Chain A
Amino acid sequence: MADFERLSEEVIAGSVDEVAELTQEAIDGGAEPKEIINQGLINGMSIVGQRFKEGDMFVPEVMMAAKAMKGGMELVEPLLAEGDTSTVGTVVLGTVAGDLHDIGKNLVAMMMESASLKVVDLGIDVDPAEFVEAVKEHQPDVLGMSALLTTTMLEMQNTIELLEEEGLRDSLKVIIGGAPVTPDFGEEIGADAWAPDAASAKDKVLELID
């Protein structure tokens, strides 16, 4: 019988090596891959999310936990049965054209990955055409756009307009964020959601996918 409780605890502690070891032990012991993921790895990570929200954990600790979980996932994923998936959805993410700020967007990406979302991170200075291209290729559930400058915020609107022109707007939800971005602005440009910080961005995306 695999010790899922300990596996979760090591995820919470961000112990990369221990998580890999315990995951391998569970696999060798014949545990179901899905159970290792859900009862061990994901379970640990959702406790981390809860603690972070309550102010009991700090960002670097969350990041280390996510790193540890990811290491375990990489061992289990190849063993998943056909049709089983370790992710709950796909998000395409990027900082809009003309903007090179990405620490906030990176945080969002890592928070999402820690919640078992598949993240396609397009990086910085992503223009509307590149976003649209990525949407065609990855068919995400959600498109996330970030901007730190009031001057680049308008690129979000340009991207949404291009999605509409290409007939892709209804196939996904759009979430936006960044320091100058407000919920009012989101409504104005026709985004589906807005989030003030990385943790709530992850929560909002999970809501959108539900």
Chain B
Amino acid sequence: MINSNLKANASTVLEVLSDEQCQEILSAAMQVLEQTGVVYHYQEALEIMEDAGCYVDGNRVRIPTKLVEKALRTVPSRVTLYNSRSKQPALRLEGNNAYFGTGSDTPFFIDPYTQERKKASKETVAMATKVIDALANLDFVMSLGIVQDVPQPIYDRHQFQAQILNSSKPIVTTATDVDGYADIIEMCEAVAGGEDELRQKPFMTLYAEPISPLQHDNDAATKLVLAGQKSLPVVYTPCIMAGGTVPATLAGAMATGLAESLSGLVLNQQVNEGNPFIMGGVFTIMDMETTIFSYGAPEFNLMQAALADMAHYLEIPMFGTCGCTDSKVVDEQAAIEDALSILITAQSGANLNHDVGYIEHGNASSLENLVISDDLIGMARRVVKGIEVTEETLALDVIDEVGPGGHFLAHQHTMDNFKKETWYPDLFRRTRYGEWVKNGEKTLTERANDKVIDILENYEPEPLPAEVEEKIAAIVKRAEDNL
């Protein structure tokens, strides 16, 4: 069979897989589920899957295609996440809508005051969240650090508290276990004003991930079940390393990663048909020189874009990854890797795109990297908007009026359109040489640091009502007391 990728690229949308190729990868994933199967390390999940008609052998579960196809029919094609303060829709996760947010749980955080690489703490998560809240192109929050200065079994309550107090943007949260998740849901219910209110207008989605290859550990499986029981959206994200946990060939890697997603989806939909489910994937390679999970490889960008095609083909909202780097500091490598992944992601139309601000292949977070990426996202969004061709934009009457040798600067048409047509950066400078010298000859990274410090010292996020803050604090305290 001959396949051709050739497409006339007549838009700013990037597609790397044809529909036929999507179907081939889907078929391959369904074959993996039928023939090889997956493992669930959770008794209740095994029972649910067996009742549904799967072949269960110990904890190995082989899933018939009809169950996968049924789950694909029941999963909603769109998920809306709301602003926790205004209760207005913030993110409409569907089609090619691309939103951007940070990543979660890095062990390290680069202190913007000292540039020291230190352990992330409750304070650093609060700082990061405040900066995310202030940035125009950042749409949702993940913690940009794992809180390590509190008792570790309940770090997640502290981490969520630090986030919900400092931002009204939707939050994608991790949880240590099912109890942590339940406590976080309770905090959200306090903010929303009740269980029904939260279900109706969710501003939080849980993040969970299988263990590649083809395993759903107890933690992940319980979260998929609980999200279903609570009717709350869940992000499920296989993190695969081509050549390590999945085949080195990208098609085989994609099929395996997709099989992990789909087996998570089947479990979730079996618990609650129609439960909102956001298909994730951090699909990349294992770097065979260093064994790292690369956040900057071209294969990472290619597979992320291919997964977006897959998500569009399946009509499931997609959790993407971009604005991250393998570089140890915010330098040229970081900027290049950020820019490429952000542009490719925006063009591929993945919906809920995380990890903006990561450096050191996901081991550390940098607020400078975050604010630089904020500009890059603005730039990418402009590119994706494309060129509108209409009578108004062709402006023949204006061209004729101005004529040869004239200029358009003082024309009403320019005034009416230049801001709509042109995107202006905040950190990227277009000043002339003399002006740049006068302003201290600052590099992009130095200006990024200035902006971070300015936000930290001058920006105030919208607070929660005092009684809600108290309820949240009480939930955190209860978890500590129960230790």
Residues of A within 8 A of B (CB): 14, 58-61, 63-64, 66-67, 100, 102-103, 106-107, 110, 124, 196-197
Q: A196-B432, A196-B434, A197-B432 are in contact. Are A60 and B414 (CB under 8 A)?
A: yes
Instruction: Name the CB-closest residue of B to A67.
Output: B410
Q: A196-B434, A197-B432 are in contact. Are A61 and B415 (CB under 8 A)?
A: yes
Instruction: Name the CB-closest residue of B to A123.
Output: B405
Complex formed: what's the CA distance from A83 to B433 in Å? 43
* Leading 10 A-B pairs by shortest Cβ distance: A63-B410, A60-B414, A60-B415, A196-B432, A63-B409, A64-B415, A196-B434, A106-B407, A60-B418, A103-B407
Q: List 27 A-B contacts (CB under 8 A).
A: A14-B415, A58-B418, A60-B409, A60-B410, A60-B414, A60-B415, A61-B415, A63-B409, A63-B410, A63-B414, A63-B415, A64-B412, A64-B415, A66-B410, A67-B410, A100-B405, A102-B405, A102-B407, A103-B407, A103-B409, A106-B407, A106-B409, A107-B409, A110-B410, A124-B405, A196-B432, A196-B435
Q: Which residues of A contact B415 (CB under 8 A)?
A: 14, 60-61, 63-64
Are A58 and B409 touching (Cβ within 8 A)?
A: no
Complex formed: what's the CA distance from A119 to B416 in Å? 27
Minimum C-beta distance from B408 to chain A (A): 8
Complex formed: what's the CA distance from A14 to B409 in Å? 13
Complex formed: what's the CA distance from A14 to B410 in Å? 10
Minimum C-beta distance from A87 to chain B (A): 19
Instruction: Name the CB-closest residue of B to A106.
Output: B407
Minimum C-beta distance from B163 to chain A (A): 33
Minimum C-beta distance from A12 to chain B (A): 13
Q: Which residues of A contact B405 (CB under 8 A)?
A: 100, 102, 124
Instruction: Name the CB-closest residue of A to B419.
Output: A58
Q: A64-B415, A196-B432 are in contact. List 8 more A-B contacts (CB 8 A).
A: A14-B415, A60-B409, A60-B414, A63-B414, A63-B415, A64-B410, A106-B407, A197-B432
Are A59 and B432 touching (Cβ within 8 A)?
A: no
Complex formed: what's the CA distance from A100 to B432 in Å? 23
Q: Which residues of B contact A60 (CB under 8 A)?
A: 409-410, 414-415, 418
Instruction: Name the CB-closest residue of A to B422.
Output: A58
Minimum C-beta distance from B60 to chain A (A): 63
Complex formed: what's the CA distance from A14 to B414 in Å? 13
Q: Which residues of A contact B410 (CB under 8 A)?
A: 60, 63-64, 66-67, 110
Complex formed: what's the CA distance from A107 to B409 in Å? 8
Are B409 and A110 touching (Cβ within 8 A)?
A: yes
Q: Which residues of A contact B418 (CB under 8 A)?
A: 58, 60
Complex formed: what's the CA distance from A103 to B409 in Å? 9
Query: When A and B form their complex, what is the total count of cross-chain residue pairs whose Cβ atoms lie within 8 Å?
Result: 35
Complex formed: what's the CA distance from A4 to B46 in Å? 78
Complex formed: what's the CA distance from A197 to B405 in Å? 20
Q: Which residues of B contact A124 (CB under 8 A)?
A: 405
Instruction: Name the CB-closest residue of B to A63.
Output: B410
Minimum C-beta distance from B83 to chain A (A): 28
List B residues 389-421 near A (Cβ within 8 Å): 405, 407, 409-410, 412, 414-415, 418-419
Minimum C-beta distance from B206 to chain A (A): 42
Instruction: Name the CB-closest residue of A to B414.
Output: A60
Q: Which residues of A contact B432 (CB under 8 A)?
A: 196-197
Q: Which residues of B contact A100 (CB under 8 A)?
A: 405
Minimum C-beta distance from B433 to chain A (A): 8
Instruction: Name the CB-closest residue of A to B408.
Output: A60
Complex formed: what's the CA distance from A197 to B412 in Å? 23
Q: Which residues of A contact B435 (CB under 8 A)?
A: 196
Which of B405, B409, B412, B432 has the most chain A CB within a 10 Å cutoff? B409
Instruction: Name the CB-closest residue of B to A103.
Output: B407
Q: Which residues of B contact A64 (CB under 8 A)?
A: 410, 412, 415
Q: Which residues of B contact A67 (CB under 8 A)?
A: 410
Minimum C-beta distance from B253 to chain A (A): 47
Q: Which residues of B contact A197 (CB under 8 A)?
A: 432
Which of A59, A60, A64, A124 has the most chain B CB within a 10 Å cutoff? A60
Complex formed: what's the CA distance from A62 to B418 in Å? 13
Minimum C-beta distance from A27 to chain B (A): 25
Q: Which residues of A contact B414 (CB under 8 A)?
A: 60, 63
Minimum C-beta distance from A124 to chain B (A): 8
Which of B405, B410, B412 has the most chain A CB within a 10 Å cutoff? B410
Minimum C-beta distance from B375 to chain A (A): 15
Instruction: Name the CB-closest residue of B to A107.
Output: B409
Complex formed: what's the CA distance from A103 to B419 in Å? 20
Minimum C-beta distance from B417 to chain A (A): 9
Minimum C-beta distance from B58 to chain A (A): 66
Q: Which residues of B contact A102 (CB under 8 A)?
A: 405, 407
Complex formed: what's the CA distance from A180 to B268 in Å? 66
Complex formed: what's the CA distance from A100 to B404 in Å? 12
What sequence of 0s and 1s flags, for each residue 52-83 of chain B, a beta carbon within 8 Å of any chain A beta carbon? 00000000000000000000000000000000
Complex formed: what's the CA distance from A66 to B409 in Å? 11
Q: Which residues of B contact A66 (CB under 8 A)?
A: 410
Instruction: Name the CB-closest residue of A to B409.
Output: A63
Complex formed: what's the CA distance from A60 to B413 in Å? 10
Complex formed: what's the CA distance from A66 to B434 in Å? 26
Complex formed: what's the CA distance from A110 to B414 in Å? 16
Complex formed: what's the CA distance from A115 to B435 in Å? 21
List B residues 261-281 near A (Cβ within 8 Å): none
Minimum C-beta distance from A203 to chain B (A): 13
Minimum C-beta distance from A76 to chain B (A): 21
Q: Which residues of B contact A196 (CB under 8 A)?
A: 432-435
Q: Which residues of A contact B409 (CB under 8 A)?
A: 59-60, 63, 103, 106-107, 110
Q: Which residues of B contact A103 (CB under 8 A)?
A: 407, 409
Complex formed: what's the CA distance from A99 to B435 in Å? 27
Complex formed: what's the CA distance from A102 to B406 in Å? 9
Minimum C-beta distance from B410 to chain A (A): 4
What sequence of 0s and 1s flags, for each residue 435-452 of chain B, a beta carbon within 8 Å of any chain A beta carbon? 100000000000000000
Instruction: Name the CB-closest residue of B to A195.
Output: B434
Q: Which residues of B contact A59 (CB under 8 A)?
A: 409
Complex formed: what's the CA distance from A58 to B410 in Å? 11
Complex formed: what's the CA distance from A64 to B408 in Å? 11
Instruction: Name the CB-closest residue of B to A16.
Output: B412
